Structure 1
Amino acid sequence: MQILPRTVLVHVKRFVSRLRRAAVSEVYAFWRRRPIDRRVVLYESFSGNGLLDNPEAIFRGLRAAPDFTHLKHVWVLANERENLTVVHEFAADPSVRFVRPDSLGYYRALATSGYLINNATFPVQFSKRGGQVYLNTWHGTPLKRMGYDIGDHASRVGNVIRNFLSADYLLAANRFMTEQMYENAHLLRNIYRGDIIEEGYPRIDHQFTDSSGVASITHRLGGAGLPIDGRKIILYAPTWKGESFAKPKDDADELISRVTELEALIDTNQYVVLLKVHQVVYKFAAERAEFQGRLVPNEIPTNAVLAATDILVTDYSSTFFDFLATGRPIAFLTPDIREYAGYRGLYMEPEEWPGPVVRTVRELAVELNLIARSGQRTEITPRYLAMRKKYSGHEDGGATDRVIDIVFRGRRDGYTVGPVARDERPSILVHVGSLGPNSITTSALNLLTAIDHDRFDVSAVFSNSRASAVLEKQGQIHSSVRQFVRVGGMNGSKIDHFIRRLHWYRGDLKSHSHDPRQKRLWDDEWTRCFGGSRFDYAIDFSGYDPLWATLMLHAPLAKRSIWLHNTMTADAHQSINKRRRQLKSVTSIFSLYREYDHLVSVSPALEEINADELAQFAPQEKFVSARNLVNAAQVRRDAAIDIREAVRVSTTGEVPSWANGLAGKSALVHFVSVGRLSSAKNHAQLIRAFAQLHVQRSDTRLVIVGDGPLRTHLEDLISELGIDDSVTLAGHQKNPYAIMAAADCFVLSSDHEGQQLVLLEALILNLPIVTVAFGSARDALPEGVGLIVPATEQGLAAGMSAFLAGSVPTAKFDDLNYNAASLDQFQSAIGATPTNQ
């Protein structure tokens, strides 16, 4: 039998995977066009790990309610073999069925069920349809930090935010959860349009069972091979230690070691130690023989086990908030608290927790033995009672009925249910582009920093990326700005996408608004990304991406603006390696301009040029201007760093020789230019002009900071002119300001620019400036500052000579007044009232 080469197998697997994804996508698109069945409820808990948590309690509550016998129930279940008890329980019940995650049946249920209930998140494909009711119950009051509070990149919480904003109802066990987790940690304040139900957790109702109910639970535990034998239960329920549910840490060895050590230090005639691991860790533990007789089966709801538990031992798990309702003792085993708190952070310090906090199993055993000798009441302190009142005040065994009343019966009177906190600030959504290391990103970051956050509620949105340079820029977004990351892709049938791409190929994007099927495609994508949220102003600050330029036009009821960072017709026809790579994408965006309320150029001169050249695409009155803002504090802070440290090669620790020359402040004269190595920047002209100057002044040097497609061409040109020792292509630098500050004069050679931000940064650093006369050059420089020369080699050479002769005027740049005026321009440009009016 012939075995296919490995590379062929890889390609075959990829093809099959793509084929399957395409089939799933088509099935989901098909069912999204079918009627919604209000009789069907879809439940998902922990990505299909079982009939668990709040969804399980609500499911059983609905089945027991006489007025809901007509409902059909669909449960997402990843592995029926691991959930045989519940599968057998409902095997003969035609109103209950199971579907696997990511199956065709799953996407049918996701698209057509009238009610959707989840304790975590639906996948990135999910987009709630009008007429569906989505209840997200989440899975616990948080002790460890959540959402944006962790400080990770937005992609970590991107799908969570999507799900929250899509939900009609979010469930909160208490006021702390409403305020800290939803409004603050996930920044839902102002933009979430649904309601928060603050009536306790249905899952905790399990803990209010009577003695016969407790006996039933212990009998079930015994039937699962756990040797209760009439002993009291100590339940060890640690949290998971991974950074995402997709990659939980397999800490099975550590867990079994602790349980074994504890058993040796307590009275096992009186107590049995059971281990309840987090659902995402369960599969690791279930495979180990050492866990037999100790591991609580995943299919038994945690809160049912808590009802039979005498003492709870945990670490950072929200389980302890649930257990407070029992009034029984809690102890905390936290051997790694420094490391864990350092990564995740905690909302309350260990000194506030309602029980002893220890670092070792031996210390834990001492505390448990004290509790055993004192009749289990030692730890019921005023602190415990205060926490119980604060976090379990709604828990009385009736939370399930109250939630069903609100969501399924529409009853609200007498219940704590309502919107998130809102203030009067208008909301702004800004698409900031790719967040790559370029001038548009710098301009966007400056805007997000300078905008008045007391006046505006600001959100930034961008595509998902794992590139380190992009993640670095995400980290520089102002802390007051809410970050959205677009995860996943558009839904819709392959036919609809073929038509969309056909229009794009023709350079016409207008079908998104006049073709009903295309409009639905884009409306669905807006809903998939932003749920039910609304914004007063929607801004495509990038202006170069057809997808985002189209999507921002589907922001409901918003005033919409798109930025024009340059002479757009010139940008469209820009040639890179003899190819006009942006021609189709940029010119296709022109077809959308008429639908925007404001077309914002970054200087008055540029506004005039664009209004004239793009007159066929939009009327004159839509063209406005707003200057880019600067972050002078950041520029000066970075410029103060020693250039040798700024450019030191991280892998070798070496400092390039050209940087040593700059740092030494030698008799050499250094000209510097910063910009992408592309045809629009015309560095070739600058290099040739410098070669002319260098013949006259051999003490001159030129450093060009930036990278791009023309690097090889420019290197060849430098060699051809014989100035390899005098011209340096420094490549992309994270901190160009340290280089600029060490130079003597800034030179700009671009054929066309918008409002060149780097000129403003040179002004902040008090650098003399020589620039060619591109369209908006005079808008970029204050009157009487710098030297504007003809856009020729001779003009540039003469300008650099003028600097050497001391004939380039400089002046102190007032960045505060500049930014204040520019912010007023920004607010006016998007249709908001300027600050000074």
Structure 2
Amino acid sequence: MIKKLKKKYKKLRKCFKKLSFNKMKYRKYIKDLPINEKSILLESQHGRTSNGNMYYILKELLTNPSYKDYDIYFTVKECNKNNIFKALEKYNLDNFKTVSIYSKEYYKVVATSKYLFNDTTFLPFFIKRNGQVYTNTWHGTPLKCLGKNSNADAHLLGNVQRNFILSDYLLYPNKFTMDHIINDYMLENICNSRPILGGYPRNSVFFNDDIRSQVREYYEINDDIQVIAYMPTYRNHSVPQGKTIENTYVLYHLLELDKRLTDKQIMYVNIHPLASSRIDYKMFKHIKPMPKYFETYEFLAATDCLITDYSSVMFDYALTKNKIILFTYDEEEYLNSRGTYLDINTLPFPLVKDVDELLNEIITDKSYNDSEFINNYCSYDSKYSCKNLCDTVILNKKNIMPTFEIPKNNKENVLIYVGNMAKNGITTSIKNLLLNLDLDKKNYYINYIPRKIKRNLSQFEDLKSIVNYIPIQGKMVLTLKEEIIYHLYNNKFISASTMAKHLDTAYDLELKRSFGDINFSHAIQFCGYEASPIMKYSKFKCNNIIYVHNNMVEEIRTKNNQRKDVLSYAYNTYDKVAMVTVDMSESVNHFCETSNKLVANNIIDYNRVITMSMDELFIDNNTIINTGLEKMKTILNSNSKKFITIGRFSQEKGHLRLIDAFEKVWLEDNDTYLFIIGGYGKLYNSTLEYAKSKICSENIIIIKSMSNPYTVLKKCNYFVLSSYYEGFGLVIAEADMLGLPVISTDIDGPRQFMLKNNGALVENSTNGIYTGMIDLLNNKVKCMNVDYKKYNENAVKQFENLLA
């Protein structure tokens, strides 16, 4: 006991070392400090830069007398603190304060400023208070796909989506950008922000007739010098030794260009700081890094030509009417990995693939017509864009900029937590449910934690093709007292109910942090596992439902993967406890005598299973077959009798005792085989070794990771469910619909289904499984032939009754 307490104490100490005490202050500021009606905070890329929209909004606030009584703050990283002052010193503007990100002062300003502006996102800790006004300007017209359409990271959109939902105003430079962001971040029906169609603050500089001469005079650039800006997109393709492919290509191109540029040409390069830091610009005669004294767009206004590739800067720079060249030397590789909204070949700008073509375009006058492009993407830009935005957001002036409402269909929103999306019965059941529901009746959103699904992205792709989604981004923001209580709970010093009682306010803020003011009619903890989401979903003020997919008493006894106090709290707190089979009732009663239990059977996608079973036998790249593919095919196509089971390599599936039972069968009939198919599980290796130890090992085929096991299932003769305990045992139904006689151990989960459909239950033991297998061989077990269409219709009604 003392040893156990010492271990917990060490764990607690380790946890507290990781705490951010400044972030804890943020919660205190939210609670104790009033909102400062005359405070404005501007933040760009988490303080990494002072360029772009925020710079121009800052200039407007500092030069417009309407804001002389406001406290103005600008977020910076400590190392960049002086850059913003240097950029503004030429205008004698310094009546503002910088706040270093993560500092105590930063959290205080975020918590208390009335007006918040950001061109990307606030970090996941951010909770918008009632009374704060948050404007998100974003940072460009997108060529590359965003949000759910991004090829690379669609599952990671959570914090961006969350910031859009929390915003009061969303600024878009054109309808193209507005439509794509609303669609691809799935904002319809859940976002109350008001989109503004207005020019970008940073583009107002292109209407300043004096800025070109000011920049050129400062850098002593004569009028007869051609100034070229090169602004390529950053490519983060890592290679060994900390170098990048981008660095290699950029350096080569710059060296070649420098040789061929004349003394009447200067190229200024603006590339990602990581790549730029590895280039020694002293080696060049005609190429320089873009200077920092002027903001990037101020400097661009003084150039004669822009070279870029896939960057949104092309949409803004078009306002200058100067020539734009797209240097797309890696077009196929780059765009295949990202995806684009527009075909780059349809843009009016010349595309070049090598340095020779690029040089030719640099010295050739502009010969293309970009008027339609400018009309489509730049028609809202003006000299007064920045002033108009501030007047609208801060001074609350009406009818200055076109504002809209994000569409709503007035249907109820239903949130469903789906867990880690592993290849298991729970993921299959939610997929089947969503495929069979009438999705026109309500708006369904799946919910998940991104880091937990990174190994199951193929399952995520399947689900996101059916419904929209809202990831959970970041963690609860707690006070020091709450952190102590939470860690005491985590280390089982206090119960879930005690923790929940003391953290009631924290959970209210956590729901606001995660979902803003989205109105959900129902919040469903469909996974039924994972303590943190169980506790979080219990705090929704709407109707909340928790599913029970398995015998949780046995889960605790055999795996210790659940907390009894969490389940007891949940089953007593949620409005409804949905059991996938009536057999779960006794298990639920073990935690509480509740009257809110309902049965909601799993949907069975019989059409998909039957269709997939007719496919050619397909082996995935990660499929492992202990006998080899060709031998397995020979066995499957033989007249030998073949038993099969499908289930993860886990203790409760009873694979080892199934092997023992099969050995006894094989001793009586050598012309029999056993197939075991599993997707994952800790016991794969031990199951493999156990099978090898048997004299019938040549007749045991073990398959790991097979995306379509139904092609094998269809070719087998009998299905055996050998589990010690189960939820429902979906594979029983899948085997039945493919015409296989089935036996199952007599356990909660499959019991009622088998009894109702005249299925064969056997004693929950090795000998019971052996007896059942002999009965199968002797044709004493018949197919159940369930009417799965009728079964599903009833299951859909059960689910809809949960939402009634």
Q: TM class, shorter-chain normalised?
A: 0.7 to 0.9
Matched, 1:606 2:596: no
CA distance in 2, matches of 1:229, 1:400: 29
Q: 1:279 to 1:764 in 2, by over 3 A?
A: farther
Indicate if the aligned counterparts of 2:760 and 2:781 stay in contact, CA closer than 8 A.
yes
CA distance in 1, matches of 2:419, 2:207: 53
Q: 1:280 to 1:519 in 2, by over 3 A?
A: farther
**Distance apart, 1:187 and its partner CA:** 1.7
Equivalent positions of 1:783-798 (< 5 A) are: 784=757, 786-798=759-771
**Distance apart, 1:130 and its partner CA:** 3.1
**Residue 626 of structure 1: which of 587, 594, 600 is its match?**
600
What is residue 565 of structure 1 aligned with on the other side?
549
**Residue 514 of structure 2: which of 503, 524, 529 is its match?**
529
What is residue 251 of structure 1 aligned with on the other side?
246
**Distance apart, 1:40 and its partner CA:** 2.7
Q: Which amino acid is the alignment partner of residue 533 of structure 2? A: W
Q: 1:720 to 1:236 in 2, by over 3 A?
A: closer
Identity score, percent: 25
What do the CA deviations read for 1:519-578 (whole angstroms, capped 9, x no partner)? 22112222332333332221101112221111123335x321110113444444x324xx
What is residue 750 of structure 2 aligned with on the other side?
777
Equivalent positions of 1:182-331 (< 5 A) are: 182-210=181-209, 212-222=210-220, 227=221, 230-242=224-236, 251-259=246-254, 261-262=256-257, 268-269=263-264, 271-278=265-272, 282-285=276-279, 290=284, 294-298=288-292, 300-331=294-325
What is residue 21 of structure 2 aligned with on the other side?
23
Q: Secondary structure at the match of 1:435?
A: coil
**Distance apart, 1:71 and its partner CA:** 1.7
Q: Answer with 634-643 or 715-724: which moved more.
A: 715-724
Q: Which amino acid is the alignment partner of residue 46 of structure 2? A: S
Matched, 1:483 2:482: no
Q: Which amino acid is the alignment partner of residue 386 of structure 1? A: E
CA distance in 2, matches of 1:58, 1:563: 49
Indicate if the aligned counterparts of 2:508 and 2:539 stay in contact, CA closer than 8 A.
yes
Indicate if the aligned counterparts of 1:29 and 1:491 stay in contact, CA closer than 8 A.
yes
What is residue 509 of structure 1 aligned with on the other side?
496
**Distance apart, 1:153 and its partner CA:** 3.9
Q: Secondary structure at the match of 1:770?
A: strand
Q: Answer with 342-351 or 76-85: which moved more.
A: 76-85
Q: Which amino acid is the alignment partner of residue 606 of structure 1? A: D
Q: Which amino acid is the alignment partner of residue 127 of structure 1? A: I
What is residue 359 of structure 2 aligned with on the other side?
365
Equivalent positions of 1:59-138 (< 5 A) are: 59-78=58-77, 79-80=79-80, 83=83, 86=86, 89=89, 95-138=95-138
What do the CA deviations read for 1:413-438 (whole angstroms, capped 9, x no partner)? 35312332222443221111122232
CA distance in 1, matches of 2:68, 2:290: 32
Q: 1:589 to 1:658 in 2, by over 3 A?
A: farther
Q: Secondary structure at the match of 1:562?
A: strand
**Distance apart, 1:720 and its partner CA:** 7.9
Q: Which amino acid is the alignment partner of residue 308 of structure 1? A: A
Q: 1:570 to 1:20 in 2, by over 3 A?
A: closer
Equivalent positions of 1:417-566 (< 5 A) are: 417-465=403-451, 469-503=455-489, 505=492, 508-511=495-498, 514-515=501-502, 518-556=503-541, 558-566=542-550
What is residue 665 of structure 1 aligned with on the other side?
637
Indicate if the aligned counterparts of 2:392 and 2:400 stay in contact, CA closer than 8 A.
no
TM-score (norm 1): 0.85
Q: Answer with 111-120 or 132-141: which moved more.
A: 111-120
CA distance in 1, matches of 2:612, 2:189: 35
Indicate if the aligned counterparts of 1:77 and 1:100 stay in contact, CA closer than 8 A.
yes
Q: Secondary structure at the match of 2:20?
A: helix
**Distance apart, 1:149 and its partner CA:** 1.0
CA distance in 1, matches of 2:257, 2:621: 53
**Distance apart, 1:496 and its partner CA:** 0.6
Q: Secondary structure at the match of 1:477?
A: helix
Q: Secondary structure at the match of 2:463?
A: coil
Q: Secondary structure at the match of 2:723?
A: coil
**Residue 753 of structure 1: which of 726, 743, 750 is its match?**
726
What is residue 802 of structure 1 aligned with on the other side?
775
CA distance in 2, matches of 1:778, 1:739: 25
Matched, 1:740 2:735: no
Q: Secondary structure at the match of 1:536?
A: strand
Q: Answer with 140-149 or 150-159: which moved more.
A: 150-159
Equivalent positions of 1:627-646 (< 5 A) are: 627-636=601-610, 638-640=612-614, 645-646=618-619
Q: 1:363 to 1:192 in 2, by over 3 A?
A: same
CA distance in 1, matches of 2:399, 2:208: 27
Cα RMSD of the aligned pairs, angstroms, is: 3.5
Which runs of no fewer than 5 residues in structure 2 stay unpaired? 1-12
**Distance apart, 1:55 and its partner CA:** 0.9
Q: Secondary structure at the match of 1:55?
A: helix
CA distance in 2, matches of 1:655, 1:693: 20
Q: 1:152 to 1:827 in 2, by over 3 A?
A: farther
Q: Secondary structure at the match of 1:74?
A: strand
Q: 1:283 to 1:81 in 2, by over 3 A?
A: farther
CA distance in 2, matches of 1:650, 1:775: 32
Q: 1:554 to 1:614 in 2, by over 3 A?
A: closer
CA distance in 1, matches of 2:780, 2:57: 79
Q: Secondary structure at the match of 1:803?
A: helix
Matched, 1:824 2:797: yes
Indicate if the aligned counterparts of 1:512 and 1:522 stay in contact, CA closer than 8 A.
no
What do the CA deviations read for 1:206-256 (whole angstroms, capped 9, x no partner)? 11112x33211223444xxxx556524332222222379xx9957345335
What is residue 42 of structure 2 aligned with on the other side?
43
Which runs of no fewer than 5 residues in structure 1 stay unpaired? 1-14, 832-837
TM-score (norm 2): 0.88
What is residue 834 of structure 1 aligned with on the other side?
none
Indicate if the aligned counterparts of 1:144 and 1:347 stay in contact, CA closer than 8 A.
yes
Q: Which amino acid is the alignment partner of residue 107 of structure 1? A: Y
Q: Which amino acid is the alignment partner of residue 66 of structure 1? A: P
CA distance in 2, matches of 1:361, 1:416: 44
Indicate if the aligned counterparts of 2:253 and 2:355 stay in contact, CA closer than 8 A.
yes
CA distance in 1, matches of 2:114, 2:39: 6
Q: Answer with 405-414 or 19-28: which moved more.
A: 19-28
**Distance apart, 1:192 and its partner CA:** 1.5
CA distance in 2, matches of 1:478, 1:67: 47
**Distance apart, 1:670 and its partner CA:** 1.8
Q: Secondary structure at the match of 2:289?
A: coil
Q: Answer with 681-690 or 420-429: which moved more.
A: 681-690
CA distance in 1, matches of 2:677, 2:126: 44
CA distance in 1, matches of 2:638, 2:184: 52
CA distance in 1, matches of 2:774, 2:762: 12
Q: Secondary structure at the match of 1:826?
A: helix
CA distance in 2, matches of 1:341, 1:719: 49
CA distance in 2, matches of 1:641, 1:124: 45
Q: Secondary structure at the match of 1:191?
A: coil
CA distance in 1, matches of 2:387, 2:377: 19
**Distance apart, 1:140 and its partner CA:** 0.2
CA distance in 2, matches of 1:761, 1:699: 25
Indicate if the aligned counterparts of 1:250 and 1:281 stay in contact, CA closer than 8 A.
no
